[in-house]
Structure formats: C-alpha cells, structure tokens
Amino acid sequence: MKKRVFSGFRPTGKQHIGNYLGTIQNCVSLQQEYDCIYCVVDIHALTTLENTTELQEDIHEMVLDWLAAGIDPEKSILFVQSHVPQVTELHTLFSMVTPLNWLLRVPTFKEKVKMQPQNVNYGLVGYPVLMTADIALYKGEVVPVGEDQLPHLELAREIVRRFNHLFGPVFPEPQAKLTQFPLIMGLDGANKMSKSYNNHIEIASSPQQILERVMTAVTDPARRYRSDPGHPEICNIFSLHKFFTPDRVDEIASDCRRAKIGCVECKKLLAANIASNLEPFREKKAALTATPNYVTEVLADGATRAEAIAKETIREVKQKMKLL
Ligand code: SF4
C-alpha cells in the first residue's frame, strides 16, 4: 500500500515559472509513488490576507494551472481546505493539547508579528495547530518540505505525539520528505521570483508574452556592450537556461564568457525554449478551460473524498477523547 502524502498550498492565483519548477513539478512526480492529498489552504491564507475580494478567483486560477500542469484528480485528492469543515474541529481539539509556549517560540510567528504589526491575529499564533490538523485529519504520513519548513513539521509531530500519548494512538507521526526546491530568481535578478515583486513569468503566458517578459530581465551588469565578456554564474537568464536549455548550458556559458553571444540573442533563445517547454501545458489548459465547471467539479469531488476520511478520523478522535 502506498504511503499517504499531504501537502497544503496557499491560493496564489495564476502560477509562475518559480511555482512550476519548484512545487508543481514535485507534486506531479510524487503522484507516481504516493497516495497524494493536495489541499488549497484558504483558511491559512486568512491569517495574512485582509482583503478577500480575489480569493475565489485565485483558488480557481491556481487549481486550473495545477490540473493543466499534471496534477491528476483520478490519482490524487485535490480540494479546498474550508470545504472540509472537520479541519476546524480538529484544530480546536488539538489546541487543547498544545502548550502555548510551543507556539510562541515558532520563528515564523515572530517574523509575522514584525511584518504585520497592525494585524497580529489569533490565527497567526494558532497557525501550526491548524497545519497539524490539516495533516493529521487525513493521517498524512509524509509531508514534502523545504529545509526552512522543518521546524513547523517538527511541531506537528510533537502535537500528534502528545495527543497519542494523552488519549491513545490515533495519528501517525508525519515524516518530512526533505525536498530541494530550486531557488528561481525573478527577472529583476535581485529577488526570488514572485508576483509581489512583479518579476515573474506566468506559465500560461503566450510565446510572445514570454518573450516580452524575458526581454525585460536584468542580466550581468558588467555586460554593458555586446563585446564585454559576461559572467553567466551571476546571470538569472543563465540560471533559467539550466532548466529550459539543459543540453546547451556549457556552450552558453562559454559563449557568454567569450562574448560570442549577446544578451538579446541569449534571451530570445531562452524565451523560445520556455515557450516550447510549456506548450503542452498551454494546450491542456485551453482544453480544460473549454470544459464548463471543470475546476468546480474536481474540487467538489476532492472535498467529498477528503471528507469521507476526515469524518472517520474525527469519530476516532472523539471516541478517544471520550466526547462520544
Ligand atoms: Fe546572461 Fe546570456 Fe547575457 Fe551571458 S549572454 S550575461 S548568460 S543573458
């Protein structure tokens, strides 16, 4: 029997190349080996989101991109966190076994307090408890995480361990699947690719839009003239070539260092390769978009399947806690 993976993602709307090369491709490949549950964590988003006007659209666009990129709703359960209300029930029950000082010492809580001093809400401090409920409700055994998320997972393990110790075994302790998510720099060359920096390329962009975005990218500042030798190791266009032109990276690096290739030519090559790499995605997205209510139906089916597991877990939890 395959182990169960649980992973949650904030709704971030249309996905960009950074999302695609990191999280999405990883989730697609995990489907081969694991029984995967992928959750759009809309309740978590509320801890930092004060304006929810675009929330539904962001969920829809993100899920559509994920489906077009290869998340298979026949293999995996894909659903929205708030569509399975049992998660808030388990969050409340877990909050009774989680010492407050465990939560107050979480580094990301302290960071969030600094980032949004005007909105230090209860949800921020309880975030790791809700995250634990997300995983435990579906008895997630494996959680793909980057190194920076390991402390959160360790806290989740402590919470379920404490529950199991106090009331009897119900939950597996989730194991980290440490994943090296590539750091994809944005077109500004200074920050991680992100919508908030407007330094991204959406994966659904047309070839012309990709070209226009790539042409705006910052490259090696030492190359002021075509004849200046370049330093590909500090150029974000070169780092994208590693993903989209893998069989020619040595040649590009060498040509850049000897000024045999100009940045315009180098960017055009990259844009063409991104566009051709993403062509199957664009075609699939167009086909899915033509199917009325496709995303809504996938999410409804995902919620039904997730809720069946959730109800069983909550019944077990309540029995152990003598609430039934
Ligand atoms: Fe970057 Fe390519 Fe220009 Fe070299 S030639 S600096 S790798 S864009």
Ligand 1 centroid–CA 169 distance in Å is 57
- pLDDT band, residue 183 (cuts 50/70/90): confident
What pairs with residue 35 in β-bridges?
4
- pLDDT tens per residue across span 22-64: 999 999 999 999 999 999 999 999 988 889 999 999 999 999 9
Q: Provide the angle, in degrees to the nearest 10, between the axes of the packed helices 263-277 and 207-215.
A: 150
Sign of the dihedral through C-alpha 134, 135, 136, 140: positive
- Pocket flag, ligand 1, residue 270 (CB < 6 Å): no
What does the DSSP assignment read for 162-192?
HHHHHH----PPPEEEE------B-TTSSSB
- Pocket flag, ligand 1, residue 214 (CB < 6 Å): no
Q: What is the pLDDT of residue 25?
A: 94
- Considering only CA atoms, which residue is closest to atom 6 of ligand 1? 220
Q: What is the pLDDT of residue 146?
A: 86
- Pocket flag, ligand 1, residue 237 (CB < 6 Å): yes
Q: Other C-beta atoms within 10 Å of 307: how many?
A: 18
What does the DSSP assignment read for 255-287?
HHHTT-S-HHHHHHHHHHHHHHHTHHHHHHHHH
DSSP-derived 3-state class of residue 228: coil
Closest by CA position to 109, among listed 95, 93, 120, 98:
120
Ligand 1 centroid–CA 229 distance in Å is 9
Is pLDDT above 90 for 179? no
Bigger pLDDT: 105 or 171?
171
- pLDDT band, residue 180 (cuts 50/70/90): confident
- Pocket flag, ligand 1, residue 230 (CB < 6 Å): yes
* Residue ranges of domains in the chain, CATH in brackets: 4-184+293-320 (3.40.50.620), 206-277 (1.10.240.10)
- Pocket flag, ligand 1, residue 30 (CB < 6 Å): no
Taking the C-alpha atoms of 57, 306, 32 and 41 in order, what is their torsion angle to the nearest 10 degrees?
40
